């Protein structure tokens, strides 16, 4: 049996969990299924539909189209006049409303993130591999990130992670150790606010040290990450790292306007990166940083 399902206005759903629940009820008993999702991309690059559209799956085909792809007589002269007027007067609005581009809300903290397949050959070519940990448990995820900094081109490469809620230090150590086997010696920089967890991981055989925090160290580390030419993330190996970096936006005030402040949520891999690459940042004051 051949089954076809089509979901219009996908962006009106609350998220992928709602779609998954729907599919689990419908995609039963058939020999072959075609599932079509259609939507006009929201402005925000971080909208869940924009993210899922590029989320890799071997059985997915993504097609994009706009008014330029159909015969003009389908649209009528007035539509074309409106489109051209908008193109001249407000090009960003034109890109979003007529071309269907996710132009962003203007609140993205990191505009330098790019998805990139990072091969073993590339990893073997890096001089130094960095490791970072941000602790979490009940609500916040435990996050371990592995990557390398290319100082010549001012680029960051992120290519491995551990990311899990309610992950004990013992289980975290078991997950991290296999990721260190290819390296002769690995130092892991972690949040110094949890000395007990650092000692536990050291007793479990990991070379973990607390990243020393100086005044305004969060802001300094964030500015350094923003100053990089590229933050390359292997999305298949680091799905949570990629999601956090591309979704991270500035705080909003009571009027829903962006302000120059970093929200302390959904930033666990970002914090792990700040700790991991603390020795690659220009040192303002050696007493402030590890």
Higher pLDDT, 284 or 223: 223
Provide CATH 3.30.420.280 ranges for the chain: 113-280
- What predicted TM-score, i.e. pTM, was given to this entire model? 0.73
Higher pLDDT, 105 or 203: 203
- CA distance linking residue 106 with residue 180, whole number of Å: 38
84: number of CA atoms within 13 Å, CB side?
A: 7
Q: Residue 51: its pLDDT value, please?
A: 80
What is the maximal distance between C-alpha atoms in the chain? 73
9 a catalytic residue? yes
For the cut 70, the answer to whether the pLDDT of residue 206 exceeds it is yes
Q: Residue 122: its pLDDT value, please?
A: 96
Residue 45's closest CA among 136, 107, 131? 107
Q: Residue 289: its pLDDT value, please?
A: 41
Q: Residue 54: its pLDDT value, please?
A: 80
Q: What are phi and psi of 220, to 5 degrees?
A: -65, -45
pLDDT tens, position by position, 11-28: 888 788 888 888 888 887
Mean pLDDT of the chain: 89
pLDDT tens, position by position, 47-78: 788 888 888 788 889 999 999 999 999 999 99
pLDDT tens, position by position, 248-267: 988 888 777 778 788 888 99
Catalytically annotated residue among 9, 114, 170, 257: 9
> How sure is the predictor about 46, in pLDDT bands with cuts at 50, 70 and 90?
low
For the cut 80, the answer to whether the pLDDT of residue 203 exceeds it is yes
Q: Residue 143: its pLDDT value, please?
A: 97
For the cut 70, the answer to whether the pLDDT of residue 218 exceeds it is yes
> How sure is the predictor about 288, in pLDDT bands with cuts at 50, 70 and 90?
very low
For the cut 60, the answer to whether the pLDDT of residue 287 exceeds it is no
pLDDT tens, position by position, 78-93: 999 999 999 999 898 8
Residue 258's closest CA among 266, 250, 269? 250
Mean pLDDT of 269-276: 97
- 191: exposed, middle or buried (Cβ count in 10 Å: 0-12, 13-18, 19+): buried
Considering only 54-63, 176-185, 207-216, 249-258, which range has the smallest mean pLDDT?
Answer: 249-258
221: number of CA atoms within 13 Å, CB side?
A: 23
Mean pLDDT of 27-44: 83
Residue 247's closest CA among 42, 18, 95? 42
Q: Which CATH class is domain 113-280?
A: alpha beta
* Other CB atoms within 10 Å distance of the CB of residue 196: 9
Mean pLDDT of 139-166: 96
For the cut 50, the answer to whether the pLDDT of residue 286 exceeds it is no
């Amino acid at each position: 049996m051949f089954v076809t399902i089509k979901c219009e206005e996908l962006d009106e759903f609350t998220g992928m969990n709602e779609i998954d629940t729907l599919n689990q009820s419908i995609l039963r008993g058939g020999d072959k299924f075609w599932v079509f999702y259609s939507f006009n991309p929201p402005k925000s690059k971080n909208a869940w539909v924009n993210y899922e559209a590029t989320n890799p799956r071997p059985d997915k085909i993504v097609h994009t189209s706009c008014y330029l792809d159909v015969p003009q007589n389908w649209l009528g002269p007035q539509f074309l006049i409106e489109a051209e007027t908008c193109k001249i007067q407000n090009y960003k609005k034109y890109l979003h409303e007529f071309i269907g581009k996710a132009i962003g809300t203007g609140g993205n903290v990191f505009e330098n993130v790019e998805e990139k397949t990072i091969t073993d050959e590339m990893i073997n070519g890096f001089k130094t591999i960095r490791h970072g940990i941000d602790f979490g448990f009940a609500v916040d995820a435990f996050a371990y990130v592995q990557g390398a900094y290319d100082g010549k081109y001012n680029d960051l490469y992120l290519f491995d992670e551990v990311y899990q809620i309610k992950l004990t230090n013992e289980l975290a150590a078991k997950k991290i150790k296999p990721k260190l086997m290819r390296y002769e010696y690995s130092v892991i920089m972690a949040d110094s606010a949890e000395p007990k967890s650092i000692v536990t991981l050291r007793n479990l055989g990991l070379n973990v040290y607390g990243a020393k925090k100086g005044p305004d160290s969060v802001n300094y580390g964030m500015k350094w990450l923003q100053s990089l030419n590229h933050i390359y993330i292997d999305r298949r190996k680091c799905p949570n790292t990629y999601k956090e970096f591309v979704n991270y936006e500035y705080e909003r005030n009571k009027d829903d306007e962006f302000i120059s402040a970093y929200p302390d949520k959904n930033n666990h891999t970002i914090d792990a990166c700040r700790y991991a690459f603390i020795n690659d940042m220009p040192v303002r004051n050696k007493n402030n940083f590890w």
